Amino acid sequence: MAMRLPDDEHVARLSRAAEAARGAGVETLIITPSPDYAYLLGYSAPALERLTALVVPAATAELRLLVPRLEAPLARHALGSLLSVVELVVWDEVDDPIGRLVELLPAGARRMAVEDLMPARFLLPIRERLDAGAEIVLAGPMLAALRRRKSPGEIERLRSAAAGADAAMRAITTERLSGRTEAEVSRRILDLLVEGGHDRGDFAIVGSGPNSASPHNEPGSRRIVPGDAVVLDIGGTRDGYCSDTTRTAFVGEPPPAFAELYAVLQRAQQAACDAVAPGVAARDVDRAARRIIADAGYGEQFLHRTGHGIGVEGHEEPYIVESNAVPLEPGEAFSVEPGIYVEGRWGARIEDIVICTASGGERLNGTPADLYLVG
Ligand code: ZN
Ligand code: ZN
Ligand code: ZN
């Protein structure tokens, strides 16, 4: 269940966060409960109306975690031996938490970075207490730069999450889908994700028939029938790390037009996976898939980017998209998920999580990328 990695990894993340702050000319990071917070400390704190904030000074190693009294037991338990480097500062119901936080900031601080997801109900009062000239910037870009390269421990987490999603995908594609509603199949997949070792299933998109042409179809009351394409896009969280995989099924024998569309998609997805290597611009992975799809005449039917990073969040950097010219680096983890969607008729998508390694892309998902023929 626990997402904590060994202490030294969290200590290293915290010191790299401070280093990133220094590099950005920021005196302090203020991180409220969020994926960034979970990444740094190894546990998810609830984002409540009561202020919880990790204060990371750029210049010193004095890490402090401000928590409301009722959250202190959870924090103490979750941090364990990390308490030797993170001092817990507890505020009581009668205290002024914003005042307590401001006391923890370096005197006369001029430039602070706050968690991107900090609620405005904290941000605005904090800003009011700071010196008039003090500047507040977003911490997100600094932390994203750390989070995008995964450690071996994180890659193991992603690998076991992917294995759990594969188990769920194998199971659902051997079941009869015809006669069931999308919502029923979706609920079944969420159960299968937990059976496959996830702590929770986060989503199970089931798009059948014409709904398969809608990439984020909300599974509903439509009943699956023979002749349907069915896009299954599923994912959950296991030990703090996310899975995300898509396979496409067809109920019965696919007509030649669909088989042809699928063959193009499969080649495009393979080409994008093959394009992954350190130093290759993220956009070139997108282009590798897009070129094949466009050349086959489906360019207008590929409605979204090729992929997104994945880690403690389901969508994070690096994004595999035309606008991203940043070269890939070893340790980056992201989806490769081209799709072709013919509105009103049918669609297909294939999605694998891929790690950029020194020698190229490595797929974490192990199920065949073929079209799944189902009953
Ligand atoms: Zn999506
Ligand atoms: Zn997905
Ligand atoms: Zn995805």
- Could you identify the residue written with the tokens 């450690």? 151
Q: Is 9 exposed, middle or buried (0-12, 13-18, 19+ CB in 10 A)?
A: middle
Q: How far is the CA of 233 from the centre of ligand 2 (A)?
A: 5
- Could you identify the residue written with the tokens 């699928």? 262
pLDDT number for residue 1: 43
Q: How far is the CA of 167 from the centre of ligand 2 (A)?
A: 15
Q: Distance between CA atoms of 76 and 78, rounded to whole angstroms?
A: 6
Q: Where are the alpha helices (H) located in the chain, listed in sequence order? A: 7-23, 35-41, 72-79, 97-104, 120-129, 140-147, 152-172, 182-195, 256-275, 282-295
Residue pair 5/154 in contact (Cβ under 8 Å)? The answer is yes
DSSP 125-183: HHHHHS-TT-EEEESHHHHHHHHTBPPHHHHHHHHHHHHHHHHHHHHHTTS--TTSBHH
In this structure, the chain runs to a length of 375
Question: What is the side-by-side strand order in the sheet with 360-363?
Answer: 316-320, 307-309, 333-336, 352-357, 360-363
pLDDT number for residue 132: 84
- For the chain, what percent of residues have pLDDT higher than 90? 94
Q: What's the pLDDT band for 109 if we cut at 50, 70, 90?
A: confident
**pLDDT surpassing 90 at residue 153:** yes
The pocket of ion ligand 3, defined by CB under 5 A, consists of 244, 335
Mean pLDDT, the chain, integer: 96
Q: How far is the CA of 296 from the centre of ligand 1 (A)?
A: 23
Q: Is 124 exposed, middle or buried (0-12, 13-18, 19+ CB in 10 A)?
A: exposed
- For the chain, what percent of residues have pLDDT higher than 70? 99
Which ligand sits nearest to residue 233's alpha carbon?
2
Tokens for 20, please give them: 């990133």
Residues 6+ apart with CB under 8 A from 302: 289, 290, 293, 294, 338, 339, 340, 341
Per-state percent for the chain, helix, strand, coil, to nearest 5? 40, 25, 35
Question: What residues pair up with 181 in beta bridges, in sequence order?
Answer: 223
Question: What residues pair up with 138 in beta bridges, in sequence order?
Answer: 114
Q: How far is the CA of 108 from the centre of ligand 2 (A)?
A: 46
**Of the candidates 185, 223, 221, the residue with the CA atom closest to the CA atom of residue 203:** 185
Cis peptide before 33 (omega within 30 of 0): no
Which ligand sits nearest to residue 232's alpha carbon?
2
Least confident stretch, 82-91, 100-109, 196-205: 100-109
Q: Is 100 exposed, middle or buried (0-12, 13-18, 19+ CB in 10 A)?
A: middle
Q: What's the pLDDT band for 2 if we cut at 50, 70, 90?
A: low
Residues 174-188: what's their mean pLDDT?
98
**pLDDT surpassing 50 at residue 140:** yes
In tens, the pLDDT along 3-32 reads 889 899 999 999 999 999 999 999 999 999
Q: How far is the CA of 16 from the centre of ligand 3 (A)?
A: 28
Residues 342-371: what's their mean pLDDT?
98
